[in-house]
């Protein structure tokens, strides 16, 4: 039995190109990466990333509570505030017992755990933060959002690596479908721009190395793609049953029509070479939505700019969608926002549906030879889009796909 579509009534984002949804959209459409050298990474094999900038996070959160929040938590809270306001909802007036929060992350507060370990080693236990545990555990984005929003319904923190955001959206839709809540605040957040994480990605061989202009280093689907560039940020959506949104006069941005998930069970970091398990996730999302593959009019690709991922995904796209719908890959601009990537890319897909604009893949002139896919390049493609999918594939073989449509 198909799960009913749910309405996306609110959207909030904070990313390396913007501290809200509109500025993020403008930045992605401009197709210029903000990758830059990061002073905190001095001495690392990779000392650059796409980072959230131009905002005083502590001031925006409020200094009385910001001290207990990791950077990744602050991102989530700010994105949730924007999403709830965008939905036209007021936590002061809702029944919090009917509000769920589902916010995923991949690494949680690993950066803060590292910081506290160094403080412990160098200065002793009395110098560590009394909020040390709160700074690190991965459920705190969901918990802090629930506290601020007076949401006492189910609260969850999915962790499926780079698929965490789509997993969160899927879980939230299930909570609505089974009547466990009436409103779901769902998305994902991540901040892994710190020395140990960057060193790990360098050692794994997945990350790009500095070579000339940093803004041109992330090149999804290019013949000379060089590896991923790290990013950070968050995206949060407000989801409601369609009838509930209509009853309060809310106009949905989009409908979340279907989701699909599989696991490669092949290798900790490499995708299955024939892509059949990832393809099964795409086909599951299409079945859930009740669509044929040829009805998909746009694909927001995972597109990490790594050799193996892009090859596997390009093959998948050409097989599943032989009618060649336009493809974009936001990581060319944003870098790889890890656990937040799926939520951010789903949010951008919502905006494509609303606005009839597909952002271009940054730093790409044409797909690599042998990649039979229609990538949007150079400038945004202006075209009405009714149905679109967003792919997310993560370490551990996690595959998650979301199908979104115009209301």
Positions marked active-site? 162, 302, 336
- How far apart CA 394 and CA 102 sit, in angstroms, is 19
The alpha-helical segments, DSSP class H, found in 45-109 are 57-61, 63-66, 71-86
Q: Are 319 and 359 in contact (CB under 8 A)?
A: no
**φ, ψ at 379 (rounded to 5°):** -135, 160
How many degrees, rounded to 5, is the angle at CA 97 between CA 92 and CA 99? 75
Q: What does the alpha-carbon distance between residue 173 and residue 183 come to, in Å, rounded to a whole number?
A: 10
CA distances from 115 to 34, 79, 119, 219 (A): 26, 25, 6, 32
Is residue 321 a contact partner of residue 313, using CB atoms and an 8 Å limit? no
Helix (H) or strand (E) holding 190: strand 183-190
The enclosing H or E element of 342 equals helix 341-355
Cα 277 to Cα 272, 318, 352, 399, distances in angstroms: 7, 15, 27, 8
CB atoms within 10 A of CB 188: 40
Q: From residue 56, how far is each of 22, 82, 190 by CA, in Å? A: 19, 16, 17
CB atoms within 10 A of CB 243: 9
Instruction: Say which residue the tokens 């599943």 belong to.
Output: 320
Which class for 338: exposed (0-12), middle (13-18), buried (19 or more C-beta within 10 A)?
A: buried
User: Hey, what are 298's tokens?
Assistant: 């746009």
Short-list 404, 63, 85, 407, CA closest to 252: 407
């Amino acid at each position: 039995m198909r799960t009913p579509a749910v309405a996306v009534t609110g959207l909030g984002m904070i990313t390396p190109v913007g501290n809200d949804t509109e500025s993020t959209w403008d930045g992605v459409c401009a197709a210029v990466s903000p990758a830059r050298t990061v002073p905190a990474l001095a001495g690392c094999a990779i000392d650059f990333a796409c980072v959230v900038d131009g905002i005083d996070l502590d001031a925006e959160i409020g200094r009385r509570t910001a001290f207990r929040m990791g950077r990744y938590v602050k991102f989530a809270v700010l994105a949730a505030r924007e999403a709830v306001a965008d939905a036209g909802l007021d936590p002061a007036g809702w029944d919090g017992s009917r509000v769920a929060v589902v916010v995923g992350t991949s690494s949680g507060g690993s950066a803060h755990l590292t910081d506290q370990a160094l403080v412990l080693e160098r200065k002793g236990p009395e110098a560590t933060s009394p909020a040390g545990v709160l700074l690190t555990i991965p459920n705190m984005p969901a918990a802090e959002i629930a506290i601020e929003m007076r949401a006492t319904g189910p609260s969850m923190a999915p962790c499926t690596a780079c698929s965490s955001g789509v997993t969160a959206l899927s879980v939230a839709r299930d909570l609505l479908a089974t009547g466990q809540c009436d409103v779901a605040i769902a998305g994902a957040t991540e901040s892994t721009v710190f020395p140990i994480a960057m060193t790990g990605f360098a050692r794994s061989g997945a990350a790009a190395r500095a070579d000339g202009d940093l803004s041109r280093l992330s090149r999804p689907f290019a013949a000379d793609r060089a590896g991923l560039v790290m990013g950070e940020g968050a995206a949060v959506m407000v989801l409601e049953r369609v009838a509930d949104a209509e009853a309060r006069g809310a106009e949905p941005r989009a409908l979340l029509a279907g989701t699909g998930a599989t696991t490669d069970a092949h290798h900790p970091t490499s995708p299955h070479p024939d892509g059949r398990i990832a393809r099964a996730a795409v086909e599951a999302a299409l079945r859930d939505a009740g669509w044929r593959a040829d009805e998909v009019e746009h694909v927001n690709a995972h597109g990490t700019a790594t050799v193996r991922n892009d090859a596997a995904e390009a093959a998948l796209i050409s097989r599943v969608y032989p009618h060649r719908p336009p493809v974009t890959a936001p990581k060319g601009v944003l870098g790889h926002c890890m656990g937040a990537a799926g939520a951010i890319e789903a949010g951008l897909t919502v905006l494509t549906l609303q606005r009839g604009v597909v952002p271009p893949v940054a730093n790409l002139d044409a797909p690599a030879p042998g990649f039979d896919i229609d990538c949007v390049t150079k400038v945004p493609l202006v075209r009405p889009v009714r149905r679109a999918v967003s792919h997310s594939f993560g370490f551990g073989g996690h595959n998650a796909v979301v199908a979104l449509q115009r209301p």
